[in-house]
Amino acid sequence: MSFRAKMEETAKKKESRVVLALDFPFSNPEKREELLARAQHVLEAVHSYVCAVKINHHLVLPLGTFDGVQLLVTRIHEKGLLAIMDCKANDIGATNQVIAEYYYAAGFDALIANPFVGWEEGLKPIFDIARKLRRGVILLAYMSHKGADEGYGQTIYDEETGMKTAQYVSFAKKALRWNADGVVVGATYPEKIREIHEILRENLPIYSPGIGVQGGAAEIAFKAGARYLIVGRDIILAQNPSAVAEKLCAAAKHVKGG
């Protein structure tokens, strides 16, 4: 089963379209055990309200991929959830291949990559290894931060039509052509979600980070066409993480087919 299909199945089973971003602020690297325990504690508290967990440098850097993060990936799977690595792979193909091989070897079901690096000797090796191992690749289309416009919002010439188009429109079309498993569009830009959803329709899901702290709103993102929310600090830093996750999970139930 493809990663895309596994996400759909897991979301239905868990009745949630929330991806937990297991991100914590910097803490003393000598107290890594505490960080690992904290991550496990949050996972225990919220696993009923999420369908997947996304891990970023916040945990890979202090814990190490095979010393600490792999343990978390195992726990994530034991909870019936999928694990996504947000490495935003963006290097030459040979390096991207090694990045993907290590993260897939650690058990990740999918990783996030940056289409700016292109296909040949860029992202192609990641897609090749992902298909071989039946794992997923999710592509950035329009990021959630303020400066996203400088890259993802640039006007470019479409190589096929020779017409002017937006960079993010081109990335959405490439995600379809390359048979990616989804695209990331910031919840802080619902109009971009809408525009990209028009291109992708039901063929590819939109993952939307930027809820809460960054200013995005769950219901607006879903109404615009997001299929999954990616939420970190709003849950992690809350007094009661499970209550926040439960509320976000309920917002997702308004999605068509959710």
Active-site positions?
88
Segment 100-119, which members bind ligand XMP (CB under 6 A)?
112
- Say whether residue 170 binds ligand XMP (CB under 6 A): no
Q: For residue 89, state whether it binds ligand XMP (rule: CB under 6 A).
A: no
Does residue number 143 form part of the binding site for ligand XMP (CB under 6 A)?
Answer: yes
CA–CA separation, 36 and 230 (whole Å): 21
Contact 252, 18 (CB under 8 A): yes
93 binds ligand XMP (CB under 6 A): no
Q: Are 160 and 129 in contact (CB under 8 A)?
A: no
What would the two tokens of residue 231 be? Answer: 């939420």
Q: Quick one: which of 21, 9, 15 has its CA closest to 229?
A: 21
Q: Which is nearer to ligand XMP, 209 or 225 (CB)?
A: 209
CA distance 233 to 22: 8
Number of residues engaging ligand XMP in binding (CB under 6 A): 21
Q: Which stretch binds ligand XMP (CB under 6 A): 4-12, 59-67, 97-105, 204-212?
A: 204-212
Cβ pair 54, 22 in contact under 8 A: yes
* Residue 231 found at the interface with ligand XMP (CB under 6 A): yes
Residues of this chain that bind ligand XMP (CB under 6 A): 21, 23, 56, 86, 88, 112, 140, 143-144, 184, 186, 209-211, 213-214, 230-234
